[in-house]
């Protein structure tokens, strides 16, 4: 690197640092950071602990990135992006310009659920029929959709707002919007132990139409949905929703009771800092629901509880049909589900755990249920995936012997909700103890037994 190049490189780094420092002292950022500290203290965490010392700033940065749509305007995007394009003004038929259907499919978006403040994923499909001899730049459809996604939302309102904004901004003959939304279904600490096959995701499909798309039985809807069928969308499942309140798993919490007032006020402060009207009807119960979910990760002494549980269950001999035994004595327990909370961004991650061990008779001496409980105990904390993997391996080694291999596969919502937007990515970590750490053939044998596709995804 030459002297000039090196100077330019260091100048860019300095500019990035200055921008981040400027962001950190902005009033909205400071308010969110202070609120996050209250939430962490409510969990019993030490806010000066090395792993979470910078968490308040990281959370503030992610939330403001995820809510930037409040400060953006559709007209600023659409204005200047309308282009003249002639079409068939008379006669029969349709052309790709005026009168023809234009569709942009498979736009990956994310939004924050207004009921619980957890992010949800969106696959967005937008179509419109141009009029007035004008079409809009295709990238603008994506950018308009993203404006409304980057706000606290529900699926149906998100679809309606995208549709209305495009109808007003482009003034076409009609607009159609189809959203496929996926919301993580996060069980609470108690129910996770009772349900061996919990639901991982809640999915919903919503539509919205204006102009020629207002009539859901119109032929133009058939054309639109038929084109989407090539993307695996069932025409029969697409219908406008009257209410999507129940789609958020937090709505099943029932009566919330009295939440920690300091933590509830902290969430209210976050909502205000993002630009929301906290008196809006849909947000009235949001702080309490968020606090109730968040308290699943309170810093209780789970190791002591786990020790007692192990003593009570150590004589269990039951095992699942998913145990696989080999001639060399390697056995496995696959697809143990887990949920956890990233301590860096306070965003959920979930997936599956695979455990390998040696057994002469091919039997699991402690039972699959106990191993699942070990996974849950370490999952329900503020975590990082690497530490979670190590903790599971160390504890399981005390139950099944020192020769252990653990693989954790997970989807992290922080990968989509803080500006990175890596949809569908998956993280794998593994820990090896005893013979698995010194025997490559044993590791390879176990790894080859893992499912081809990780059930950590949707």
Would you say 144 and 77 are in contact if contact means Cβ atoms under 8 Å apart?
Answer: yes
Its pTM stands at: 0.82
CATH number for the domain whose boundaries are 19-296: 3.30.1130.10
Give the model confidence (pLDDT) of 102-157 as tens digits.
Answer: 999 999 999 999 999 999 999 999 999 988 777 888 889 999 999 999 999 999 99
Would you say 200 and 350 are in contact if contact means Cβ atoms under 8 Å apart?
Answer: yes
Length of the chain: 458
Instruction: Give residue 348's Cα distance to chain centre.
Output: 7
Tell me what pLDDT residue 325 has: 40
Tell me what pLDDT residue 9 has: 46
* φ, ψ (nearest 5 deg) of residue 131: -145, 170
Give the model confidence (pLDDT) of 157-193 as tens digits.
Answer: 999 999 999 999 988 999 999 999 999 887 776 666 6
Tell me what pLDDT residue 202 has: 87
Q: For residue 301, what pLDDT band results from cuts at 50, 70 and 90?
A: low
Tell me what pLDDT residue 18 has: 44
Give the model confidence (pLDDT) of 184-213 as tens digits.
Answer: 887 776 666 666 565 678 889 999 999 999
Q: What is the percentage of the chain residues whose pLDDT exceeds 90?
A: 51
135, β-bridge pairs: 83
- Whether 19-296 and 300-449 share one fold: the answer is yes
Tell me what pLDDT residue 141 has: 92
**What are the strands, taking DSSP E only, across 199-323?**
201-211
Higher pLDDT, residue 239 or 413 = 413
**Which tokens go with 429?**
């970590």
How many alpha carbons lie under 13 Å from residue 28 in its C-beta half-sphere?
16
**Which tokens go with 149?**
């996604």
**What are the strands, taking DSSP E only, across 32-91?**
82-84
Q: Are strands 134-136 and 201-211 parallel, antiparallel or unpaired?
A: unpaired
Give one DSSP letter per residue of 26-59, joined into a string: SHHHHHHHHHHHHHHHHTT--TTSTTTTTHHHHH
Distance CA 408, CA 417 (A): 22
How many alpha carbons lie under 13 Å from residue 219 in its C-beta half-sphere?
0
Q: For residue 15, what pLDDT band results from cuts at 50, 70 and 90?
A: very low
Distance CA 299, CA 306 (A): 14
**Which tokens go with 105?**
């499919």
Q: For residue 23, what pLDDT band results from cuts at 50, 70 and 90?
A: low
Fold held by 300-449: GTP Cyclohydrolase I, domain 2 (3.30.1130)
Buried residues in 335-346 as b, exposed as e (16+ CB within 10 A):
bbbbbbbbbbbb
Residue 256's SS3 state is coil
Could you state, in order of their start, the residue ranges of all structural domains in the chain?
19-296, 300-449
Is the confidence at residue 223, as pLDDT, over 60?
A: yes
- Taking alpha carbons only, the member of 325, 378, 356 closest to residue 432 is 356
Tell me what pLDDT residue 56 has: 96
């Amino acid at each position: 690197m030459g002297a000039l190049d090196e100077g330019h490189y260091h100048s860019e780094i300095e500019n990035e640092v200055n921008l981040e420092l400027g962001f950190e002292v902005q009033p909205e950022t400071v308010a969110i950071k202070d609120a996050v500290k209250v939430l962490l203290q409510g969990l019993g965490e030490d806010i000066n602990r090395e792993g979470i010392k910078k968490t308040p700033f990281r959370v503030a940065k992610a939330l403001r990135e995820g809510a930037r749509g409040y400060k953006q305007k559709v007209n600023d995007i659409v204005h200047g992006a309308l282009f003249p394009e002639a079409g068939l003004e008379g006669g029969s038929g349709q052309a790709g310009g005026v009168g023809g259907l234009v569709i942009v499919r498979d736009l990956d978006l994310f939004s924050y659920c207004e009921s619980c403040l957890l992010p949800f994923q969106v696959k967005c499909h937008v179509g419109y029929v141009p009029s007035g001899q004008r079409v809009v730049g295709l990238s603008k459809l994506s950018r308009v959709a993203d404006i409304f996604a980057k706000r606290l939302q529900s699926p149906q309102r998100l679809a309606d707002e995208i549709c209305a904004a495009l109808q007003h901004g482009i003034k076409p003959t009609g607009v159609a919007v189809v959203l496929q939304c996926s919301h993580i279904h996060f069980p609470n600490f108690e129910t996770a132990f009772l349900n061996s096959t919990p639901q991982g995701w809640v999915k919903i499909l919503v539509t919205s139409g204006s102009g020629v798309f207002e009539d859901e039985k119109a032929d133009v809807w058939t054309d639109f949905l038929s084109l989407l069928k090539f993307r695996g969308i069932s025409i029969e499942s697409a219908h406008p929703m009257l209410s999507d309140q129940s789609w958020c798993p937090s709505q099943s919490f029932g009566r919330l009771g009295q939440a920690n007032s300091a933590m509830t006020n902290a969430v209210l402060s976050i909502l205000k800092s993002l630009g929301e009207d906290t008196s809006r009807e849909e947000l009235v119960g949001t702080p309490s629901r968020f606090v109730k979910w968040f308290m699943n990760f309170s810093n209780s002494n789970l190791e002591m509880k786990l020790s007692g549980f192990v003593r009570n269950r150590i004589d269990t001999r039951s095992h699942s049909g998913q145990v696989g035994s080999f001639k060399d004595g390697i056995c496995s327990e696959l697809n143990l589900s887990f949920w956890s909370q990233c301590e860096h961004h306070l965003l959920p991650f979930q997936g599956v755990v695979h455990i390998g061990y040696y057994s002469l008779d091919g039997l699991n001496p402690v039972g699959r249920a106990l191993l699942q409980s070990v996974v849950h105990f370490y999952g329900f904390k503020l975590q990082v995936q690497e530490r979670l993997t190590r903790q599971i391996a160390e504890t399981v080694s005390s139950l099944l012997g020192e020769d252990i291999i653990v693989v954790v596969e997970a989807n992290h919502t922080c990968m989509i909700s803080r500006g990175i937007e890596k949809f569908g990515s998956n993280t794998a970590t593994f820990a090896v103890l005893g013979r698995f750490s010194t025997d490559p053939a044993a590791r390879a044998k176990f790894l080859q037994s893992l499912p081809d596709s990780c059930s950590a995804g949707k």
